[in-house]
A and B are shown apart, each in its own frame.
Chain A
Amino acid sequence: MNMMIPDFEGGNVRRLPVYLLLDCSTSMQGHPIMAVNEGLNMIYRQLMNDLRAQDTVHISLIRFASQATQDPLTPLLHFQPPILTANGNTALGAALQLLVQSIREDLVVNTMQRHGDYRPLAFLLTDGEPNDHYKDAVYQLHQLRGNQRPTMIALGCGNNVKESTLREIAEPSNVFLMQNVSSESIKKFFQWMSGSIIQTANAGGAFAPTVYAMPDGTVRASDGPPRY
């Protein structure tokens, strides 16, 4: 007896939701926003190279300027990196509100009978202070529990970002500050992001920062006291 082994089709697919919260305010105009656009393409290419990421990663883009807009969670295979433009203020609170809303409504939670989605990864990239009321959204973000509680990673670009604001949103060990912002450094951060997503997808949803180096001049907030 030497029967072929059929594939086991059907059933649940556990997703790794990845939220990209990208600042598209006026200060990002020019080379920074072009670097972000290239970074998005790079993330897409690198994730498509990994079969496990292809299977699990679902991406949602939340761009924020004077208002915040969300592209729904999309399987990686159907994701098309958009071309972002930069204009307006920094409505970070609205973006975080969208993140919380999507996590509450779109994620499959764990139950006694079955596993739900993996804990989401949320990457925040901003170069300025929020212009709206963001405290309520941060509070709601911290109220999320179980596999709904996202792993937040925040990158502050330039000198206009307050480290204390980012520390309110993400764990200090997941807050990074980039003083000298260039196209290359932003692209390098996106490379780090894609590597971390792949590592997490392969680690069964447990956030695993990649071995890729962060861009030169980027410091982790937990390396020192907060700078105000």
Chain B
Amino acid sequence: MSRQDDPYAAGQGPAPYQRRASAQHVAVRDQAPLRIAAAQSSAYPSKAEPGGIADLIWYGTCALLGLACVGTLGIWLWRFINGQVNSTKLTILVLVVLIYALCAGCGWLWARARSAPIEEALQKQATSLQGQVEGLQQQVEYLTRENMNLQQTIRQQSNSPRTDPSQSAITARRAQASAAPLPPIAAPIPAPAPVIPDTSIYEQQREPDDASDLTLHPHEKRFPAANEPNVLDYNWRVIGASRRGYGHGYEGKYREDDFQIKILNNQAVGPALALVAIADGVSSKGLSRKGALASVEGASAITEQQVAPLKTLLFRNSSQDEIRNAAANILLEALHGAADAVTRAARTARVSIDDLHATLLVFLAVPLGPEQVFLASVQVGDGAIFGVRAGSNGGEPPYARWKQLLAPQIQAAGNEVQPFMRSQERDWYQYMQFDTLSPIAGIMAMTDGIADDVEPPLPTPGTPEPDHFSMVDRFYQTYVLPTLQASRPADELVRFIGYRRSQSIDDRTLVYLYHK
């Protein structure tokens, strides 16, 4: 129902529901006890109220009767002392006085009996209200103490010195919180120990309970690890890095990302080719790391013989359709190789394929010139590939420099991801991309541990149309470009993708193909 259809929003009657700001709630809460108290006091009879002509007449009549009684009694006593009254008349007088006293006493007792239940009810009401007041006082005291604790804790967090610059994001968030207006404190109450931990829980990194798989699945992986060739034609190079995420470190789990890079540089056939496979194990599956490793090893088991047709076509500058068909065949063989490898791994480990689920991204890149690359890619999952244009002088906005070559497959629900082993061959064709990129300076491929961090920013009132590649460019400038200056860029890349970011605790893998 839209707001226009809502009869209450249109002011046609009292709204059964309202959305209010929290400040208004405070006002309503403050008034509520008063309203309750007023309603309860009016429900019971009040004591006699002063004023009114009837009351004055009543009091005057009583006073006159009293005076008349006293006067009559005085006259009779005076006449009795002077001997003017005989004993019979005196007896009658005493009887009259006794009857009067009896009537007055009965009236008093009757009035007292009538007022007793009312007094009792009032007494009970007073006791009940007293109890409620005490309860509310206790609640206010409790909440005030809670408020004190939290304020003190936030202040301690914001004031505590931090030497580790990686903590600055957390410090900034907490400082911001302490700067927010907090309600005043009624009275200083001794506060117990703070409840918020001083450091991030993700600082606590621990080893897996069964560390026997660390040889196959180390927490960090890089390419080139030793002296493997990583140079392609026209001085293009490829480096790769993968590291365990902070979340898995905290839980004592293995790195579940994996990647494999294979250089096929038989110059007798054609230009050198880089085949890259990147997999991300599904965290909910216990042995997904094995599935990820099997996937990338199976996908990269492509031989020179298998890529020879593509190389030949590229060397001869054949038609785009022929080149695409040849590239598609290689990708298909890579995916089939991955599927076979996962099946074998499941059989070896005597587990279900379901336990080895992982996503898979495969691409092959063939440099055709200093600023030209043929790229064929496919993925089942939520990784991404970005390309940065060559010849940029740095003054152009990110959207003019970057291109998304392979987008993550984001599901509608957002949390689920399609594992590679649940996809079918007919799906693979529609996931394939082929590009001849020119002018191009670099290609970044990544798992969702990084891809999620560089998603297009949301529009804000200040930036209604944000640059979709602003985060990609910032990531590239901050963590990728600096590593290329190092003597061993892959080592630096492993270190740099260990950056800290709020909410970013997944494993991270990045492969970068660049022209040096």
Contacts and interface: CB of A to CB of B under 8 A. Distances in A.
B482 interface: yes
B35 to A, nearest CB: 9
A162 to B, nearest CB: 21
Nearest to A97: B17
Interface string A39-67: 00100010011111011100000001001
A146 B16 contact: no
A69 B23 CA distance: 13
A115 B139 contact: no
A140 B2 CA distance: 11
Most chain B beta-carbon contacts within 10 A, residue among A78, A80, A110: A80
B413 interface: yes
B265 interface: no
Contact of A69 (B17, B475, B486): B17
B499 A7 contact: yes
Given A12-B457, A14-B503, A41 B173 contact: no
Interface string B128-149: 0000000100010011001000
Interface stretch (B93-101, B213-221, B316-324, B490-498): B490-498
Nearest to B138: A34
Contacts of A55: 502-503
A29 to B, nearest CB: 10
A56 B177 CA distance: 15
B303 interface: no
Interface in B306-323: none
B478 interface: yes
Nearest to B201: A51
A211 interface: no
A119 B16 contact: no
Contact of A5 (B174, B407, B454, B498): B498
A68 interface: yes
B183 A80 contact: yes
Contacts of B407: 112-113
A215 interface: no
Nearest to B16: A94
Contacts of B503: 13-14, 52, 55-56
Contact of B455 (A6, A12, A78, A82): A12
A145 B410 contact: no
Interface in A79-122: 80-83, 85, 87, 91, 94-95, 97-98, 101-102, 108, 110-119
A119 B413 contact: yes
A74 B22 contact: yes
Nearest to A31: B135
A41 B202 CA distance: 25
B29 A132 contact: no
Interface string B456-495: 1110000000001001001100110010011100001001
A118 B414 contact: yes
B143 A13 contact: no
A10 interface: yes
Contacts of A147: 412-415
Contacts of A116: 414
A7 B498 CA distance: 9
A146 to B, nearest CB: 4
A77 B177 contact: yes
Contacts of A97: 1, 17
Nearest to B32: A85
Interface stretch (B73-81, B164-172, B270-278, B424-432): B164-172
B139 A34 contact: yes
Given A77-B173, A82-B25, A85-B32, A11 B415 contact: no
A4 B17 contact: no
Interface of B: 1, 15-22, 25-26, 29, 32-33, 36, 135, 139, 142-143, 146, 150, 165-166, 168-170, 173-174, 176-177, 180, 183, 195-197, 200-202, 247, 283-284, 407, 410-415, 452-458, 468, 471, 474-475, 478-479, 482, 485-487, 492, 495-496, 498-505
12 contacts: A8-B475, A8-B478, A11-B471, A49-B196, A51-B200, A68-B16, A69-B18, A72-B22, A82-B26, A112-B407, A115-B414, A204-B283
Given A1-B485, A34-B135, A78-B177, 18 more contacts: A5-B479, A5-B498, A7-B165, A7-B168, A8-B478, A8-B500, A9-B169, A41-B146, A55-B503, A69-B17, A72-B19, A77-B173, A77-B176, A85-B29, A98-B19, A110-B412, A114-B456, A147-B412
Q: Report, nearest first, the 9 A-B pairs whose CB atoms are least far apart.
A: A146-B412, A94-B17, A68-B17, A8-B501, A114-B455, A147-B414, A110-B414, A77-B177, A94-B16
